Structure formats: C-alpha cells, structure tokens
C-alpha cells in the first residue's frame, strides 16, 4: 500500500511541477509586460517634463512683466508729478499698457501647454491603471505558485514518512 501511495504521490508531484513551471512562465510574461509598461510610463513622464518647464518659465515671465508694469507705473506717476517730465510719463504709461499684449500671449501659451500636459497625463493614467491590473494579476499568480509549492512539499513529506491519508485512520 505504501509503495502505491509513493507512486501516486510521484505522479501528483510531477503534475504539480508542470503546473508550477507553466505558472512561472506566465509570471515571467506578466513581468515582461509590467517592465514594458513602466518604460512607457517613464517615456511619457520624460515627454511631459519640457512642457512643465516651459509652463513654469512662462508663469515666471508673467510675474516679471507684472513687476515691470508696477515699476513703470510708479515711475510714470512720479514723472507725471513733475510737469517737466510729463511727456516721458505719458510714454511710460503707454509702455506699461503695451506690456499687457506680452502677458496675454504668455497666458495663451500657458493654456496651450496645459492642454498638452493634460493629454499626456491622461495617457499616463491609462498606463498606471494597466500597471495596477497587471500587478494584481501577478499577485494572484504568485499566490497560486505558493499554494502549489506548499502542496508539493506536503506530498513529498508524505512520501518521506511513508504515510498517506488512508493509512492514518
């Protein structure tokens, strides 16, 4: 009876080994897909960085233009107080108001960049969602392999101790 149980255990161990091998190949394929998706995400992040930098520079330029407008406005007011420099003050007011065109152009550029960034962010979110599903799938497969390995160890131990479920009773 014990010999029969050992032979049966060997067959079951072989089946489990085949399942473990198949599962390990599937895990390897899943890990390769995960690596590819992580590369895609990194590539999208690198694609997004220049847009982010340009947006920050345009925002800084808008603040610089605003500061320039304030300084020119103060100078124009001071020059307007002295009647001799009144024509210079009027010129400075004109310059200050014409700086609004540059500010508006920057704001339009910022909106265009935000659209580009938003499109890239949507792609990144899509890739991240895929990564999460693949990680969940990988976790399930790893648990399956762990269970099969435990089952295999139990069968090996049964064979070593020459015990089977029928002989324990």
- The pLDDT confidence band at residue 50, using thresholds 50, 70 and 90, is very high
Residues 66 and 60: their CA atoms lie apart, in Å, by: 10
Residues 34 and 14: their CA atoms lie apart, in Å, by: 30
Structure confidence by residue, pLDDT tens digits, 110-140: 999 999 999 999 999 999 999 999 999 999 9
How confident is the model over 23-41, as a mean pLDDT? 93
Residues 33 and 39: their CA atoms lie apart, in Å, by: 10
Q: Please say if the pLDDT value at position 42 is more than 50.
A: yes
Structure confidence by residue, pLDDT tens digits, 76-112: 888 888 878 888 888 888 888 888 898 999 999 999 9
Does residue 100 contact residue 62 with C-beta atoms inside 8 Å? no
Residue ranges per structural domain of the chain: 2-161
Does residue 20 contact residue 152 with C-beta atoms inside 8 Å? yes
Among 125, 124, 117, residue whose Cα is nearest residue 56:
117
- The pLDDT confidence band at residue 168, using thresholds 50, 70 and 90, is very low
What pLDDT is recorded for position 169? 43
Among 119, 122, 124, residue whose Cα is nearest residue 42:
124
Among 158, 108, 162, 148, residue whose Cα is nearest residue 17:
148
Residues with Cβ within 8 Å of residue 78, at least 6 apart in sequence: 89
Q: What angle do CA 102, 108, 110 make, to 5 degrees?
A: 105
What pLDDT is recorded for position 6? 63
């Amino acid at each position: 009876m014990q010999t029969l149980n050992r032979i049966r255990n060997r067959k079951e161990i072989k089946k489990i080994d085949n399942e473990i091998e198949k599962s390990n190949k599937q895990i390897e394929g899943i890990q390769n897909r995960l690596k590819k998706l992580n590369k895609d995400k990194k590539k999208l992040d690198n694609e997004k960085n220049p847009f982010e930098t340009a947006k920050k520079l345009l925002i800084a330029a808008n603040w610089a233009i605003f500061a320039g407008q304030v300084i020119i406005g103060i100078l124009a007011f001071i020059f307007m107080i002295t009647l001799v420099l009144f024509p210079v003050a009027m010129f400075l007011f004109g310059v200050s108001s014409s700086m609004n065109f540059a500010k508006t152009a920057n704001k339009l550029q910022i909106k265009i960049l935000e659209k580009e960034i938003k499109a890239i962010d949507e792609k990144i979110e899509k890739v991240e969602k895929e990564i999460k599903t693949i990680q969940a799938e990988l976790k399930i497969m790893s648990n399956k392999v762990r269970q099969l390995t435990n089952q295999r160890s139990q069968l090996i131990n049964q064979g070593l101790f020459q015990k089977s479920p029928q002989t324990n009773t």
